[in-house]
Each structure stands twice: as structure tokens, then as C-alpha cells.
């Protein structure tokens, strides 16, 4: 498998506060990497650095040969390579589901409206929402809005999909439908980086687990099941004890 993402000696600061310290990570095409760790350890900030939403103070991020540099001219090209799905959906309230989804492909990629609509409807059908194409976000449940946000990211044909705590704002009964959509993407071969607190989901979907604490990669495992059964570091053991797997 070819390497799609390479992060070397990444450091991120907010003022004097070092949020990410010497992060090194590579992700291959088709790989699903799940990033876990306590709140405030830098997981979401890391994802935001990857697509140029946050400037980094040191290190190098390369996505499919393209360096990530926030604010630089190539950032629009980069964001077509990396799709990001946020916890807060980020849907335009005054636009319908279909209008939300086709906006970026038409504006950024200059794709024809007919082509964008055709693919959007196919993707909405796959996630069970084609009948909601003319609804406005306020008419949807949280789980439905999150699936729309996933479809919107997919329509840009990104090389990598980033998911930032996408179920955190959802009621428990809505979580399942979003996680099912993500599992389906993983099975189809999508390259994904997922930040989540859903440990059973992480165990089911991950090719690799990254455990982050205080801005550092404390443990990395290419066997998700083994990590959850027998982590190798004391910090990971302590973290996992806060979850009940019964």
C-alpha cells in the first residue's frame, strides 16, 4: 500500500502551551487509524493541523506528496485531498440537504450541477437519506445531519477522511446509524483517521490504534483487539480502566 500521509516531528503550540510534541505518523492508502486518549490531549488539534486549519510551529505534514501549510495558496487543493467531518456538522441552515452537499464540488472543483446532483443522490441513497434531499438541516435529527456531513465530504472524492468526535453531540440511539455508515466506508477501502471516545467502535473498525496523552503518542498498536485486551503502557492501562467493556 502506498503512503498517503506522513507526519514528521510535528509540534503545535498555543502561546507557550505545547499541545502536540514531536508527533511522527504515517498512514497508508486504505488504512483506518483511530486516535484515542483523554480529553484535552490534543486529538482534535492534531486533525485540524492535518488539513491546515491550525498552523504548526515545527515539523512537516505531507499529504499525497503535497506539504500542508496553513494559509498558503495550495490549501484549497489540499482540502480536496482531505475531507473532514466535524462534531458540529457545519451545515448551512438556509440550504437544503442537496444544496449543502453539491455546493463545494460545484464551486471548488467546477463540476457540473447535473453530475454533482447525480452522485449526491447515489450517496444519499447509500446512507438511507435520499428521501430527505429537500429537507433543511433543522428538519433532521442529529444522526441524519451527521450522515449528510459525511456524504458532503465524500462527494469531494478526498484521499483521506478525518472524523473528529462525530458522535459526541448525538443522543445514544443516533450514534449507531452514524457508526454504521463509517464502518461501511472502512469496508469499502476508504483511508480514515478517526478521533473517538467510542471504544467498542474503535476496536471494531481500527487497523491501527494511536493512544495520545499530553500531546504525545504514548502507545501505537497495529492490533486493535490486543491493545484493548492488553495495552503495553501503564498510561494506556489506566485510561482503558475507565471504560466498561462488559
Residue 203 exposure: Cα atoms within 13 Å on the Cβ side: 13
Residue 70 is predicted with a pLDDT of: 65
Stretches in the chain below the pLDDT threshold 70: 1, 70-72, 244-246
pLDDT for res 38: 94
In the chain, the domains with their CATH numbers are 3-91+160-240 (3.40.50.300)
Q: What is the pLDDT of residue 67?
A: 86
Amino acid at each position: 500500500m502506498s503512503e498517503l500521509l506522513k507526519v514528521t516531528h510535528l509540534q503545535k503550540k498555543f502561546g507557550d502551551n505545547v499541545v502536540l510534541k514531536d508527533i511522527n505518523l504515517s498512514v497508508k492508502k486504505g488504512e483506518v487509524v483511530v486516535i484515542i486518549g483523554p480529553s484535552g490531549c490534543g486529538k482534535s488539534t492534531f486533525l485540524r493541523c492535518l488539513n491546515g486549519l491550525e498552523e504548526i510551529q515545527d515539523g512537516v505534514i505531507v499529504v499525497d506528496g503535497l506539504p500542508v501549510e496553513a494559509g498558503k495558496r495550495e490549501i484549497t487543493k489540499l482540502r480536496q485531498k482531505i475531507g473532514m467531518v466535524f462534531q458540529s456538522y457545519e451545515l448551512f441552515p438556509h440550504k437544503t440537504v442537496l444544496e449543502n452537499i453539491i455546493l463545494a464540488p460545484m464551486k471548488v472543483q467546477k463540476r457540473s450541477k447535473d453530475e454533482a446532483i447525480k452522485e449526491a443522490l447515489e450517496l444519499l441513497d447509500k446512507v438511507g437519506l435520499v428521501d430527505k434531499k429537500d429537507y433543511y438541516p433543522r428538519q433532521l435529527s442529529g444522526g441524519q445531519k451527521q450522515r449528510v456531513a459525511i456524504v458532503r465530504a465524500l462527494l469531494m472524492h478526498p484521499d483521506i477522511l478525518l472524523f473528529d468526535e462525530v458522535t459526541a453531540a448525538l443522543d445514544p440511539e443516533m450514534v449507531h446509524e452514524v457508526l454504521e455508515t463509517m464502518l461501511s466506508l472502512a469496508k469499502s477501502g476508504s483511508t480514515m483517521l478517526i478521533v473517538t471516545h467510542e471504544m467498542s467502535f474503535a476496536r471494531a473498525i481500527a487497523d491501527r490504534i494511536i493512544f495520545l496523552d499530553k500531546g504525545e503518542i504514548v502507545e501505537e498498536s497495529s492490533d486493535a483487539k490486543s491493545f484493548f485486551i492488553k495495552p503495553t503502557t501503564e498510561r494506556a492501562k489506566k485510561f482503558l480502566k475507565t471504560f466498561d467493556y462488559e
